[in-house]
Structure 1
Amino acid sequence: MPEIIETTVYQLHELSNAAKDKARDWYRRVGFDFDWYDAVYDDFERICAILGVSLATRTVRLFGGGVRPKPCIWFSGFWSQGDGACFEGHYRHAKGAAPHIRAYAPQDTELHRIADSLQAAQRRNFYQLQATVTHRGRYYHEQCMAISVERDSPTGQDTSRDAEDIVIEAMRDLARWLYRQLEREYDDQTSDASIDDAICASAYTFTEEGRRFG
């Protein structure tokens, strides 16, 4: 015969500290099945545009059956030695990149440094430097980017002695910068305070031991 079993359930704030930790661990396992990094990607796209990097795109299918372009950005993280971020695209001189990046991100000295190094290399090469960035291999970090630099000179002039190395390192530094933003965003979204807010907003309930109910 059917039986009715009563279970007492609790809101997060009603649990013991140990049970709260178990509830948070449950949410960290199941609550991040969405593109939590979209805001970081959007910011990175704007920064790339300022610096003169046109990100390559790929076509992805939507749940409704349509398609949309998505920037070629990848990352893995955040616990292994080989973790990192990388991207694909094409770089060319962007006029006013240094002052524009300072206006966009006035406190970010790393972005200022990247813009300044690119500007200096471009100046020595009459603003003719270009670079193509592609991903290679099965890992996702800055060393997985193949970067070819050339000078679009109408007279066939070669790049200055250090220009290629400067542009390559700037692209890798940009990927390192992206990874740090992703790591910071992930740490923020998975902090106890953020998890608690998400659990409370969804009105999840738990058993006394912190197991999700329902």
Structure 2
Amino acid sequence: MPRIVETTVYQLGELSTEAKEKARAWFRESMDTDGWYEFVYEDFEAICAILGVRLKTRAVRLHGGGTRQKPCVYFRGFWSQGDGACFEAFYSHARSAPHKIRAHAPQDGELHRIADALQAVQKRNFYQLRADASHRGHYYHEYCMAISVERDSPTCQDMTADAEEAVTEALRDLARWLYRQLEREYEYQTSDAVVDEAIIANGYTFTASGRRFG
């Protein structure tokens, strides 16, 4: 037989400290597992374009049918051994990359260093270096990138002795940079202040123990 049960519900600010933590944990578990890092990916794509890194793409299925092309960028995080980020791409010299990266990210010394390193090794090789980076294995970090480097010289001139290592390390440093941006964004999106703001904005209510009610 149906019966009416009355339950007292609370807004986040009315909960005890312990109940607030439970409410926040619920929200973090229910977060969009993809959407939080889209802004980081978009910025990374712009940075890659400046540096001469053309990201490879793969087809992904859409909910309504059909497919779209998505950049081959991968990560896993954030606190386990083997966590990291990697990407698949073709690299070639991009004119004025050091200047353009400073205009795009004036405070990011690591990006400046990567752009300068690529520019320097390209200059030593008459701007003829090309690279191909592909993912290998089951993990996602910079050492899962198989990187081959060659010199596209019309006279078949060999690349300098340091070229392969310099380009490889610069691309791996770029993957490390991406992982740090993802980690920072995740920490921000899951911080108490941001979670509390989202809970309040959505009008969620909870029982006295912090269990989601409505």
Give the TM-score band, short-chain normalised.
over 0.9
Secondary structure of the 1:126 match is: coil
- The percent of aligned pairs where both chains have the same amino acid is 70
Per the alignment, residue 21 of structure 1 pairs with: 21
1:144 is aligned to 144
Shift of residue 2, structure 1, vs aligned partner:
1.4
TM superposition shift of 1:81: 1.6
- 1:116 is aligned to 116
The 5 A counterparts of 1:29-68 are 29-68=29-68
AA matched with 1:210:
G
Show the counterpart of 1:84: 84
For the pair 1:165 / 2:181, whether they are aligned, the reply is no
Runs of 4+ aligned residues of structure 1 deviating over 6 Å after TM superposition are: none
Counterpart CA distance in 2 for 1:12 and 1:158 is 65
Are positions 1:179 and 2:179 aligned together?
Answer: yes
- C-alpha separation between the residues in 2 aligned to 1:2 and 1:122? 77
> How far apart, CA to CA, are the structure 1 residues paired with 2:30 and 2:18?
19
* AA matched with 2:70: K
The alignment of Structure 1 onto Structure 2 pairs a total of residues equal to 214
Q: Could you report, residue by residue, the CA deviation over 1:14-57 in whole angstroms, capped at 9, with x for unpaired residues? A: 11111100100111111233421110000000000000000000
Q: Distance in 1 between matches of 2:206 and 2:32?
A: 19
Structure 2 residues not aligned, in runs of 5+:
none
Distance 1:66 1:201 in 2: 34
Q: Partner amino acid for 2:114?
A: I
Deviation, structure 1 residue 193? 0.5
Q: CA RMSD in A?
A: 0.8
Measure, in 2, the Cα distance between the counterparts of 1:106 and 1:98. Answer: 11
Residues 1:106 and 2:101 aligned together: no
Deviation at 1:128, TM superposition (A): 0.1
Do residues 126 (structure 1) and 126 (structure 2) align?
yes
User: Residues 161-197 of structure 1, C-alpha deviation per residue, up to 9 Å, x if partnerless?
Assistant: 1011000000000000000000000000000001001
**SS where residue 36 of structure 1 aligns?**
helix
Give me the whole-angstrom Cα distance separating, in 2, the residues matched to 1:35 and 1:179: 16
Shift of 1:142: 0.1
Look up the SS of the partner of 1:64 in the other structure.
coil
CA distance in 1, matches of 2:133, 2:108: 24
- In 2, Cα distance between equivalents of 1:130 and 1:31: 40
Cα separation, 2, equivalents of 1:7 and 1:205: 11
TM-score, L = length of structure 2: 0.98
